Structure 1
């Protein structure tokens, strides 16, 4: 068994090297060839560690030159993710990590990113199509396969949320200040749609595999770290929108208030799972305090309106009762 694994490992090394040599001597242009080599080197079958920083930086740089290069980077990674004879969970995780870095560091237009992925979608499982991915090499590979499935779903949801926000989930400080200012003129319906998308992304994070001990592995730790960084930014996105709605809370209709309460309840059910996943690294008590404060404010508003509605019904009932008695008197 050990000899078989060793032979597979050696075969993987030679297979990747053969592909790199082929890319070097291919008739494609220099940039395309360089992209293929960078992708192959960053997603090797043999190494069990995350892609090297210098290769990630090279791919992000390529994607920021022209739209053609950006498309070449994305399509090469997607092809690497799916087109190999034997499913390899380390290749899959490295491809997803590389894509994640490109979401964060890529400068090409968000809508174009989405169009790229949608054009590559071959099934109804999402554009990364890893919902059925399994590497049956050994127990650890099967366990890590669940992490690959979860990570792919998170990236799909995150990109969809970015389209709803009309900006990437990860923003620079300058861009975040601009976004915060623009919310003042946002309609309620837009704020609700954005908050719901953000909460859905948080819920997707909470679907993490139960095998949290896997985070001791370098590549799974890197996956968790990147998702954690996005979650930190998602918190800020939710906070600025909840703050804006908190200032307008008395102008919300009963239906809008109920909708926001349900959203906050969904968020609160995620708290324990998030704490377990990130080991309290992303606690941000100010965020959860805001959620609690707004929930209390909305519940008081709801109770006040219910009491007011009940009072009006009683007044209407008494008025109708008095009128009925007067009619009886007149009738006799």
Structure 2
């Protein structure tokens, strides 16, 4: 068993080196070649560790030189994710990690790459790992579930960023600018953004239940980055909850109902999130705000329902009164004669 594992490890090393040599001799410009080689080195078949920091730093540096290099960087990562003869879960996870680093730390031009926005707002699965399977061994199959989920999470990240009009990891200045615009945004736009953020939180909650896998350095790094995104999701959600809280009195009954359902979905995630990030700060202020908005919302919704019932009762009583009045008036106009009396004389002849 040990010899078989060592042999597979040796084969993986040879395959990685062969790809690096092939990239080095490919007919492309120097920057593109450097990007391809760095991506290969960052996404080796080894199960031991996530991409090294210096490889990520090199990619970030290379991607910032020109628009062509920016596009080449994203293309190389996506190509590495999909184009290999036999699915390898560690290559897939490291490719997704590398892409996540680019999304979180990359320049504005890198984040605006069309490859990162391929119909993402409509839920198009451009990373396409929903059926990913690596049957090499039990651990590979187990980690394959993490690769599927992580790809779905990154797709949700990009689609949510498209709806928000900014990336989760945008600078504080960009977020503050967006915050000012929210004050004049329509309710439907705010609700759409809040719903996208809640959907992303729900995607986090779909993480595989095999939390023991987090003892692996690669999975641990995945959850660390997801945890950072979750922190930013909370920040963006709090901004929109605060703005919506100030508008609750102006919402219709249907709008209050829709918002209540959205917040109920959010509350339903709390237990799972506590389980996933139990060693992190609980962010009580976030849940306290959500609870306050929900309480205020339910009170207004109840009042709206009571007013609706009262209005219907008043309308019913008014209609009944009007009907009785009409019947009384009609009765007086008829002036019915007593039985047996008549104003006419009938003559019978034989």
- For the criterion TM > 0.5, the same-fold answer is yes
Q: Following the alignment from structure 2 to structure 1, what is the Cα–Cα distance between the partners of residues 33 and 97? A: 21
> Do structure 1's residue 139 and structure 2's residue 147 form an aligned pair?
no
Report the CA distance between 1:26 and its aligned residue: 2.7
Match of 2:239 in 1: 240
Quote how far apart the aligned CAs of 1:172 are. 2.0
How far residue 110 of structure 1 moved from its aligned partner, in angstroms, is: 7.3
Provide the C-alpha distance between the structure 2 equivalents of 1:260 and 1:109, rounded to a whole number of angstroms: 35
Change (3 A) 1:280 1:264: farther
Residue matched to 1:196: 195
Q: Could you tell me whether the CA contact under 8 Å between 1:64 and 1:108 is conserved in 2?
A: no
Q: What is the deviation of 1:111?
A: 7.7
What is residue 230 of structure 1 aligned with on the other side? 229
Normalising to structure 2: TM-score of the pair?
0.89
SS in 1 for 2:206: coil
- CA change 1:110–1:74 in 2 (3 A) is closer
Give the Cα separation in 2 of the matches to 1:227 and 1:120: 22
Query: How big is the alpha-carbon RMSD for the aligned residues of Structure 1 and Structure 2?
Result: 1.9
What is residue 126 of structure 1 aligned with on the other side?
Answer: 125
> Is 1:80 the counterpart of 2:80 in the alignment?
yes
In structure 1, what is the Cα distance between the partners aligned to 2:264 and 2:119?
Answer: 36
| Residue 112 of structure 1: how far off its partner (Å) | 4.1
In 1, the alpha carbon distance for the partners of 2:64 and 2:186 equals 33
TM, length-normalised to structure 1 = 0.94
In structure 2, the residue matched to 1:206 is 205
Name the counterpart of 2:340. Answer: none
Q: 1:110 to 1:328 in 2, by over 3 A?
A: farther
Give the drift of 1:46: 2.6
- Cα deviation for residue 216 of structure 1 reads 1.2
1:273 lines up with 2:272 in the alignment: yes
Q: CA deviation at 1:37?
A: 1.1
Single out whichever of 320-329 and 230-239 deviates more from structure 2: 320-329
Give 1:29 shift.
1.0
Q: Which residue of 2 aligns with 1:30?
A: 30
Contact 2:96 2:151 in 1 (8 A): yes
Answer yes or no: is the 8 Å Cα contact 2:24–2:37 preserved in 1. Answer: yes
- Measure, in 1, the Cα distance between the counterparts of 2:200 and 2:40: 30
Q: Which moved more, 1:124-133 or 1:243-252?
A: 124-133
Q: In structure 1, the residue corresponding to 2:183 is in which secondary structure? A: helix
Q: What runs of 5+ residues in structure 1 fail to find an aligned partner?
A: none
- Pairs aligned (count): 329
| Secondary structure at 1:185 match in 2 | coil
